[in-house]
Amino acid sequence: QVQLVESGGGLVQAGGSLRLSCAASGRTFSAYVMAWFRQAPGKEREFVAGINWSGGSTTYADSVKGRFTISRDNAKNTVYLQMNSLKPEETAVYCCAASKVSSVRGGQTSYDYWGQGTQVTVSS
């Protein structure tokens, strides 16, 4: 069982930056693929970025490549999402998720545990 708690969301102007954190409980955090998803009002939840157990492999949605960076610290049971050059259309609830699969997947059904999410609002 893994419990995930996100933090770091807030209000930022377009072009600004935020760093999200996701703290995980449990002793086997390093065994999980971790990912960030987001859901904007009236839209379906979408994959943003994922990272394998070691941090050596990352995957990004095309829309965030070059602007967002996912990383993890297994000693702290935490995964991060650094978001730069934010756009108003990226206003959403950002959730982290954990998966027992061996590599990063973009589909929601691959993820076993979810956090409650943190709100990110980007003003124009």
| pLDDT single digits (tens) 23-48 | 999 778 889 999 999 999 999 999 99
Residue 101: pLDDT above 90? Answer: no
Question: What is the C-alpha separation between 52 and 91, in angstroms, rounded?
Answer: 26
Q: Which pLDDT score, from 0 to 100, does residue 102 have?
A: 84
Q: Which pLDDT score, from 0 to 100, does residue 26 have?
A: 78
* Residue of 89, 99, 116, 121 lying closest to 7 (CA atoms): 116
